[in-house]
Amino acid sequence: MTAARPGRLAYLGTPQLAVAPLVALLDAGFPVTDVVTRADTRRGRRGSASASPVKRVALDAGLAVHHRVDDLLGQGIGLGVVVAFGQLVRPHVLAEIPMVNLHFSLLPRWRGAAPVERAILAGDHRTGVCLMRVDEGLDTGPVYGSVELAIGATESADSLRQRLVEAGSRLLVQQLTDGLGAPAAQLGEPTYAAKLTAADLRLDWTQPSERNARVIRLGGAWTTLGGRRLKVLSAEVVGDGPGDVLHGDSVGGLRLLAVQPEGRSPMPWADFARGARLADGQRLGT
């Protein structure tokens, strides 16, 4: 399977992070003709239809857009490229169309939906991106190539994800340009990156400050104060211990920098504390 393989190339992806690899393929001159992405969504009963980020780019580029993977069958597709598609490709499709997947971890660590977030949450120091062959399992296929990146000590998930997308786009173009060759089997003990839930993002003040700092780096971290939800947007570690009691701008070993009260805009912690008339000794998580 190489870049010179006859036939059309299809791209399967949906969110913003899947846009850059598609653009990279188009800019490099690969014959992408078809895109599969999620169907348009509506917000509210009278909301207008909203196309996915990948669909918007595909339409601008004049590509054929589909919402069902089976629409690719019988169309002479020579290779499918999957990036953050969010669906398993069924065996009968793979029997006709070979596919590769750009996955944002160093497989077999963090197979699944949230590899970037799970790597940060686990305190990993390194991660990466793999180009793998799609098979019937969840991110179980052999790997054609990979790039390893260090995770910054205070790096946010958004920042890390962007760096991985940039590295992955280059990897994808280079591998297809050079020819994929024979992939290598994944080696090591698999771990699984389940999709994050609201419970994963709730700050647990019985945990060490470093653990809560990692949750905050994911984006969407929250706690409660006086029975109302309070998002914690940024913080820094100033001590080791747990604790839920406020002392100035700190709780436990965390110094709070920016928050977003329920129903309001983001703001510096100092502005929120002053407006809410917070005093030392109040507890978070209540």
- Among 40-44, 140-144, 182-186, 267-271, the minimum mean pLDDT is found in 40-44
The percent of residues in the chain predicted with pLDDT above 70, rounded, is: 96
- Stretch 209-236: mean pLDDT, rounded? 96
- Stretch 59-79: mean pLDDT, rounded? 96
168-177 burial, b if ≥16 CB within 10 A, otherwise e? bbebbbebbe
Show Cβ contacts of residue 217 under 8 Å, excluding neighbours closer than 6 positions.
120, 154, 155, 156, 157
- Residue 42: predicted pLDDT: 75
- pLDDT at 46 exceeding the cut of 80: no
The fold of 209-276 is: Methionyl-tRNA Fmet Formyltransferase; Chain A, domain 2 (3.10.25)
- Residue 132: predicted pLDDT: 98
- Stretch 4-23: mean pLDDT, rounded? 87
Instruction: Say what angle helices 19-27 and 157-178 make with each other, to 10 degrees.
Output: 30
C-alpha closest to that of 2 among 185, 134, 223, 180: 180
- Residue 286: predicted pLDDT: 85
Determine the Cα angle at 103 with ends 102 and 106, to 5°: 125
Instruction: Say what angle helices 19-27 and 53-60 make with each other, to 10 degrees.
Output: 20
- pLDDT at 4 exceeding the cut of 60: no
Could you tell me the pLDDT band of residue 7, with boundaries at 50, 70 and 90?
Answer: low
- pLDDT at 225 exceeding the cut of 60: yes
Query: Can you say whether residue 7 is alpha, beta or left, with left for phi > 0 and alpha for psi between -120 and 50 degrees?
Result: left
Could you tell me the pLDDT band of residue 273, with boundaries at 50, 70 and 90?
Answer: very high
Q: Report the mean per-residue pLDDT for the chain.
A: 94
- Residue 172: predicted pLDDT: 97
Domain ranges, ordered by start, for the chain? 8-193, 209-276
Could you tell me the pLDDT band of residue 2, with boundaries at 50, 70 and 90?
Answer: very low
- Residue 197: predicted pLDDT: 97
- Residue 215: predicted pLDDT: 98
- Alpha-carbon distance 131 to 6, whole Å? 21
Q: Which CATH class is domain 8-193?
A: alpha beta
- Residue 5: predicted pLDDT: 45
E strands in 115-240: 126-133, 143-150, 192-193, 222-225, 228-237
The string of pLDDT tens digits covering residues 81-125 is 999 998 899 999 999 999 999 999 999 999 999 999 999 999 999
The string of pLDDT tens digits covering residues 129-148 is 999 999 999 999 999 999 99
